[in-house]
């Protein structure tokens, strides 16, 4: 008999980042369906869903609702760093664990969060180290006006200046804003070698469309001369961007059809639509692995689960709760990503302490 385990899903069905939410939710639901149909699994996951509707103020209360009104101790969810930080105090108060399946800016290692997507030493730093020797060291930085944009650009600014480069400009937009005209004017005037795009949702789509027009007016801004870089754009958003995505260079742990995700030993692992889908799928499967054959452990904290795990196959670092992932750089060509460069098995290093990557202070640390 399988034991019934409730698991929370906390994703927004609407709002500026709904496409990413939908991809994450699809990956989690796929994993739940596969595990529940697997006769070798002794766990049957029952999803308990809450929809914050893109409202950051609802994440904490809805996470509390899951943890208080159901037996779920584990929640797969959140897209923005703001929403993740909103739920951490709730997780600490009620003994829950968040499985976070999107790239983030690092400088965090909570006892109540598992990070199954990439942090800066797995996306931003490899991307900058790849682009600067090929295109130059003069950058323009864009970002949505919240934690992800601020921190990504802070780290980029430091990495670029350490390499002898300079920042041609830096500008932020409120989440959801499409007012990209001033950014484009500044880029036209400052003529950077590349642009780091840390905008999200419609802001990013509008920027890429406007930059494509700029490229038709001035050959300097053609993607072959001045690429736009991203650490958060994946296949799930390409239909919304359309032809403006051509030439975009992105970093991530997985691209559609590429082997190498930690789950790649399973048949059909390359079937995921994007890294968001793959990371959420992996979160559910890793939780199931930790619970397998251990009745009652669904009540334990993630720290206890990891400390008592003696079986092979674990992918979560028990100290930082980050995962070992490939670091892949790919470019959009013909509407799909083509791999340009990859490194396998890069351990998540949220504070950048395993090498001399940066001297940045970990002032965003959240622990319990």
Instruction: State pLDDT tens for residues 136-167.
Output: 999 999 999 999 999 999 999 999 999 999 99
DSSP 2: P
Instruction: State pLDDT tens for residues 310-357.
Output: 777 889 999 999 999 999 999 999 999 999 999 999 999 999 998 644
Round to whole Å and give the CA distance between 271 and 267. Answer: 9
In this prediction, residues 3-31 reach a mean pLDDT of 96
The owner of tokens 């196959």 is: 313
Is residue 260's pLDDT more than 90?
Answer: no
Q: What does the pLDDT read at residue 368?
A: 36
Query: 3-class DSSP state for residue 57?
Result: helix
Q: Among residues 310, 316, 322, which one has the least CA distance to residue 354? A: 322
Question: What are the counts of helices (DSSP H) followed by strands (DSSP E) for the chain?
Answer: 10, 12
Q: What are phi and psi of 3, to 5 degrees?
A: -95, 140
Q: What does the pLDDT read at residue 311?
A: 78
Fold of 121-255+326-347: Rossmann fold (3.40.50)
Q: Kindly give, in sequence order, each residue whose CB lies less than 8 Å from that of residue 159, ignoring residues fewer than 6 positions away.
A: 124, 125, 128, 129, 357, 358
Over pLDDT 70: what percentage of the chain?
93
Q: What is the value of pTM for the model shown? A: 0.93
Among 158-172, 256-270, 328-342, 353-367, whose mean pLDDT is lowest? Answer: 353-367
Over pLDDT 90: what percentage of the chain?
89
Is residue 187's pLDDT more than 80?
Answer: yes
Q: pLDDT band for position 269 (50/70/90)?
A: low
The string of DSSP codes covering 143-201 is: EESSHHHHHHHHHHHHHHHHTT-EEEEEEEE-TT----HHHHHHHHHH--SEEEEE--T
In this prediction, residues 220-248 reach a mean pLDDT of 97
Which carries the bigger pLDDT value, residue 261 or residue 327?
327
What are the domain boundaries of the chain? 3-117+257-324, 121-255+326-347
Matching fold, domains 3-117+257-324 and 121-255+326-347 = yes
Q: What does the pLDDT read at residue 306?
A: 94
The owner of tokens 């002032």 is: 363
Let me know: does 80 contact 101? Beta carbons within 8 Å.
no
Q: What does the pLDDT read at residue 366?
A: 41
Round to whole Å and give the CA distance between 360 and 170. Answer: 19
Tell me whether residue 175 is exposed, middle or buried, using C-beta atoms within 10 angstroms of its C-beta: 0 to 12, 13 to 18, 19 or more.
Answer: buried
In this prediction, residues 47-71 reach a mean pLDDT of 97
Q: What does the pLDDT read at residue 263?
A: 59
Provide the token pair at 8.
Answer: 């929370």
Round to whole Å and give the CA distance between 154 and 136. Answer: 19
Across the chain, mean pLDDT equals 93
Let me know: does 101 contact 33? Beta carbons within 8 Å.
no
In this prediction, residues 190-212 reach a mean pLDDT of 98
Round to whole Å and give the CA distance between 136 and 259. Answer: 31
Q: Among residues 189, 147, 182, which one has the least CA distance to residue 168? A: 189
Provide the token pair at 60.
Answer: 């904490």
Q: What does the pLDDT read at residue 30?
A: 96
Q: Among residues 4, 250, 14, which one has the least CA distance to residue 130? A: 250
In this prediction, residues 275-288 reach a mean pLDDT of 96
Round to whole Å and give the CA distance between 282 and 289. Answer: 10
Q: What does the pLDDT read at residue 3?
A: 95
Is residue 265's pLDDT more than 50?
Answer: no
Is residue 48's pLDDT more than 50?
Answer: yes
Q: Among residues 242, 171, 237, 173, which one has the least CA distance to residue 213? A: 242
Domain spanning 3-117+257-324 has what CATH number? 3.40.50.2300
Q: pLDDT band for position 266 (50/70/90)?
A: low
């Amino acid at each position: 008999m399988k034991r019934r385990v409730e698991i929370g899903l906390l994703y927004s069905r609407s709002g500026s980042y709904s496409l990413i939410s939908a991809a994450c939710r699809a990956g989690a639901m796929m994993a739940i369906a596969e595990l529940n149909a697997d006769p070798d699994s002794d766990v049957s996951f029952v999803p308990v869903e809450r929809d914050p509707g893109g409202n950051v103020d609802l994440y904490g209360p809805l996470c509390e609702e899951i943890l208080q009104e159901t037996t779920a101790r584990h929640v797969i969810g959140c897209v923005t760093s703001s929403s993740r930080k909103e739920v951490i105090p709730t997780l600490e108060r009620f003994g829950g664990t968040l499985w976070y399946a999107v790239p983030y800016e690092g400088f965090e290692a909570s006892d109540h969060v598992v990070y199954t997507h990439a942090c800066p030493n797995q996306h931003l730093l490899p991307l900058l180290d790849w682009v600067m020797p090929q295109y130059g060291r003069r950058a323009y930085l864009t970002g949505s006006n919240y934690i992800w944009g601020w921190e990504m650009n802070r780290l980029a600014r430091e990495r670029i200046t350490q390499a002898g480069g300079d920042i041609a400009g830096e500008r932020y937009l409120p989440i959801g804003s499409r007012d990209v005209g001033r950014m484009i004017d500044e880029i036209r005037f400052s003529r950077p070698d590349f642009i780091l795009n840390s905008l999200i949702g419609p802001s990013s789509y509008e920027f890429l469309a406007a930059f494509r027009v700029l490229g038709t007016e001035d050959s300097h801004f053609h993607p072959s001369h001045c690429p736009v870089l991203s650490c958060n754009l994946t296949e799930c958003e390409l239909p919304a961007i359309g032809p403006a995505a051509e030439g975009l260079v992105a970093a991530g742990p997985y691209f559609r059809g590429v082997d190498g995700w930690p789950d790649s030993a399973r048949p059909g692992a390359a079937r995921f639509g994007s890294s968001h889908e793959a990371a959420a799928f992996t979160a559910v499967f890793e939780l199931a692995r930790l619970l397998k054959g251990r009745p009652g452990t669904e009540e334990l904290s993630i720290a206890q689960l990891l400390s008592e795990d003696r079986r092979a196959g674990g992918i979560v670092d028990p100290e930082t709760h980050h995962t070992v992932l490939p670091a892949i750089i790919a470019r959009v060509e013909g509407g799909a990503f083509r791999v340009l460069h990859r490194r396998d098995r890069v351990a998540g290093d949220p504070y950048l302490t395993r090498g001399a990557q940066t001297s940045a202070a970990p002032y965003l640390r959240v622990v319990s």
